[in-house]
A and B are shown apart, each in its own frame.
Chain A
Amino acid sequence: MRALPPLLEVTGLAAGYGGGPVIAGVGFAVPPGGVVALLGANGAGRSTLLRALVGLTPVAAGEICFAGAPITRLGVAARVRRGIGYAPEGRRVFPGMNVRDTLLAASRAPRAGRRAALDRVFDLFPQLAASAGRRAWQLSGGQQQMLALGRALMGEPRLVLLDSPSLGLAPPVVADVFGAIAAIVADGVAAVIAEDRLAPVDRVADRALVLRAGRVVADTALAALSEDRLADLALGAAGASAAASTRLASPFEPG
């Protein structure tokens, strides 16, 4: 069995907002179709990492390779064109635009391709199709999250970066949202999903990357992680030794 070359490969990445790096020395890989849970406590740097990957936060050091080519110095639009989709923390829907226009706006394809992408998103999210004409501010939190996911898919990405999709949603709605995410990854789209707990992501992810204070403290098979173990890693109690042992866990082995 030969490992597939990774779709995303990050090495020694440092990024921040001008006042020193918020994340540093971050390295990990995602194979085609792989799903990584990006975990950590508040302020650990998960959002910063995802923003750096899509190009919204400048990279201070390190390298990002996507589909075999370096993209570290590319702008956001160029990265999106290569197949990266991004759903930001807090959803950030365009409040005054309706569902249909929001989705169409997120496509750079000519008319026919745009329509095809819209149809695929509507197939995936019947809820969105049913409220195609409603403005984003009129939608419920769960629907807004679906819209943010759909928007990230309109560029037909091979990798989606989903920042805290469960944020502020009631448990049944979280289940709906993750049902939709499961459908996305079932199509073979790779994903990095930031969350602060294991519970919502464990049904879709196969690996976990745990950040503490901007550094990777564990890169492990998801099965090797429990909610308690995660708390230890993320908060630092016994973190160092736990990190050392989990890093020995088997790397990705796609079937």
Chain B
Amino acid sequence: MAQLLVNGLALGAAYALVALGFVLIVNATGAVNFAQGDLVVAGGFLAVAAAPLVPVPALVLVPAVAALMAVIGLVLSLVAYLPLSRRPPVAVFISTIAAGLILENGVLVLFGPAPRSAPPLIGGGVVELGGLVVARQSLAIIGVAVALIAGQQLLFHRTQLGRWLRATAQDAEIARACGIPVVSMVLLTFALAAAYAGTAGLLLANQFFITPSDGGDLMLRAYIAVTIGGWGSVGGAVAGAVLIAVFETVVAARLGHPVATGLLYGVVLVILAVRPRGLFGEAAGRRA
């Protein structure tokens, strides 16, 4: 059971990065980035592709994959968000879905449909923690995710750049009137979100398998996490992601993956019924 919990936490750590990127974009632009799941897949396959080329532990790949994904996020915002930012939100929904499909099919063409996995972050094996036998890989995933989430918090709450990013997310027009370069802040947010999604993909590909068509499922999980956590709340999204992953892992161990996934989506339907404004009702003003 404890081992299961650690596995769930590791999965949750990766989901949390996905949900975090998702919520940053929602806050900064009001747009839902439906390509977020496919960015995860792209990051995973970047790690798969890079692994044989670089004879180093995958941990060293994290910054490289994050940087490449940031560039992809920048391109995504330039192509699928900026030209449509003055249109109704549905235009951006469609354009990010299209961008996601392009990413998914690109990965499919390059790597084929089979599930793949990347080498472990740090060597395999287990460690004993207070009588618990825990996979080192799980700990490494949790460690990387915690560091990245802490980094986001530091950036947003301790730096001037973070103040600009937050002000842009709170009220872009007034941020502009304060002299803040809001377009750059939006681009940066997309880059950051893609970097986090891509890193999540790397982490997932290390411990679990990843296939080109996983994007939709991952996107839905991020969406559920954000809905559970309360729209616009970073802490809530992270908590929601961990909750989902632990639920999924524990239920899957007892009843199998199909049941776990089915139950999870059942829960979404319930949440959407209870909070029908989930997708289109913008977050309450108190988020930070």
Decide if A and B are genuine partners.
yes
Instruction: List chain A positions with a Cβ less than 8 A from chain B.
Output: 54-56, 76-77, 80-81, 86, 88, 92, 94-97, 101-102, 104-106, 108, 111, 114, 135, 137, 151, 154-155
* B155-180 contact mask (Cβ, 8 Å, vs A): 1 or 0: 00100100110110011011111111
- A86 cross-chain contacts in B, Cβ below 8 A: 177
- B179 cross-chain contacts in A, Cβ below 8 A: 76-77, 80-81, 106, 108, 155
Which of B164, B167, B174, B287 is the one whose CB lies under 8 Å from A88?
A: B174
- Shortest distance from the beta carbon of B229 to any chain A beta carbon, whole Å: 15
> Among the interface residues B174, B175, B287, which one has the most CB atoms of the partner chain A within 10 A?
B174
Bound state CA distance, A151 and B181, in angstroms? Answer: 16
Check B171–A92 contact: CB distance below 8 A: yes
Check A97–B167 contact: CB distance below 8 A: yes
Which of B163, B174, B178 is the one whose CB lies under 8 Å from A101?
A: B163
Check A155–B178 contact: CB distance below 8 A: yes
- Shortest distance from the beta carbon of B168 to any chain A beta carbon, whole Å: 9
Check B285–A95 contact: CB distance below 8 A: yes
B288 at the interface (CB under 8 A from A): yes
- A95 cross-chain contacts in B, Cβ below 8 A: 170, 285-287
Q: Output the nearest chain B residue to A81 by Cβ-Cβ distance.
A: B179
Question: Closest 3 CB pairs between A and B?
Answer: A96-B288, A80-B179, A105-B163
Asked, given contacts A94-B171, A96-B287, whether A105 binds B178 with beta carbons under 8 Å apart, the answer is yes
- Shortest distance from the beta carbon of A68 to any chain B beta carbon, whole Å: 21
Check A54–B177 contact: CB distance below 8 A: yes
- A97 cross-chain contacts in B, Cβ below 8 A: 163, 166-167, 170, 288
Asked, given contacts A56-B173, A94-B167, whether A151 binds B178 with beta carbons under 8 Å apart, the answer is yes
Bound state CA distance, A92 and B285, in angstroms? Answer: 11
- A101 cross-chain contacts in B, Cβ below 8 A: 157, 163, 166
> Among the interface residues A76, A104, A114, A151, which one has the most CB atoms of the partner chain B within 10 A?
A76
Bound state CA distance, A101 and B162, in angstroms? Answer: 10
Instruction: List chain B positions with a Cβ less than 8 A from chain A.
Output: 157, 160, 163-164, 166-167, 170-171, 173-181, 285-288
- Shortest distance from the beta carbon of B18 to any chain A beta carbon, whole Å: 22
Bound state CA distance, A74 and B147, in angstroms? Answer: 41
Check A94–B160 contact: CB distance below 8 A: no
Bound state CA distance, A54 and B171, in angstroms? Answer: 16
Which of A80, A81, A96, A114 is the one whose CB lies under 8 Å from B166?
A: A96
Check B160–A114 contact: CB distance below 8 A: yes
Check B177–A76 contact: CB distance below 8 A: yes
- Shortest distance from the beta carbon of B86 to any chain A beta carbon, whole Å: 11
Q: Output the nearest chain B residue to A154 by Cβ-Cβ distance.
A: B178
Bound state CA distance, A55 and B126, in angstroms? Answer: 60
Bound state CA distance, A81 and B178, in angstroms? Answer: 9
- A96 cross-chain contacts in B, Cβ below 8 A: 166, 170, 285-288
16 chain-A/chain-B pairs, Cβ below 8 angstroms: A76-B176, A77-B180, A92-B171, A97-B167, A97-B288, A101-B166, A102-B167, A104-B163, A105-B167, A105-B180, A106-B167, A106-B178, A106-B180, A114-B160, A135-B288, A155-B178
- A56 cross-chain contacts in B, Cβ below 8 A: 173, 176-177
Q: Output the nearest chain B residue to A92 by Cβ-Cβ distance.
A: B174
Given contacts A95-B170, A102-B167, A114-B160, 9 further A-B contacts (CB under 8 A): A77-B176, A77-B180, A88-B174, A92-B174, A94-B175, A104-B163, A108-B180, A151-B178, A155-B179
> Among the interface residues A101, A108, A154, which one has the most CB atoms of the partner chain B within 10 A?
A101
Q: Output the nearest chain B residue to A88 by Cβ-Cβ distance.
A: B174
- A137 cross-chain contacts in B, Cβ below 8 A: 285-286
- B176 cross-chain contacts in A, Cβ below 8 A: 56, 76-77
- Shortest distance from the beta carbon of A136 to any chain B beta carbon, whole Å: 9
- Shortest distance from the beta carbon of B231 to any chain A beta carbon, whole Å: 13
- A106 cross-chain contacts in B, Cβ below 8 A: 167, 178-180
Check A105–B177 contact: CB distance below 8 A: no
- A55 cross-chain contacts in B, Cβ below 8 A: 177
Q: Output the nearest chain A residue to B163 by Cβ-Cβ distance.
A: A105
Bound state CA distance, A137 and B284, in angstroms? Answer: 11
- Shortest distance from the beta carbon of A81 to any chain B beta carbon, whole Å: 6
Which of A76, A135, A155 is the one whose CB lies under 8 Å from B286?
A: A135
> Among the interface residues A54, A105, A135, which one has the most CB atoms of the partner chain B within 10 A?
A105
- Shortest distance from the beta carbon of B125 to any chain A beta carbon, whole Å: 44
- A92 cross-chain contacts in B, Cβ below 8 A: 171, 173-174
Q: Output the nearest chain A residue to B158 by Cβ-Cβ distance.
A: A101
- Shortest distance from the beta carbon of A142 to any chain B beta carbon, whole Å: 18
- B170 cross-chain contacts in A, Cβ below 8 A: 94-97
- B285 cross-chain contacts in A, Cβ below 8 A: 95-96, 137
- A54 cross-chain contacts in B, Cβ below 8 A: 177
- Shortest distance from the beta carbon of A247 to any chain B beta carbon, whole Å: 31
- A155 cross-chain contacts in B, Cβ below 8 A: 178-179
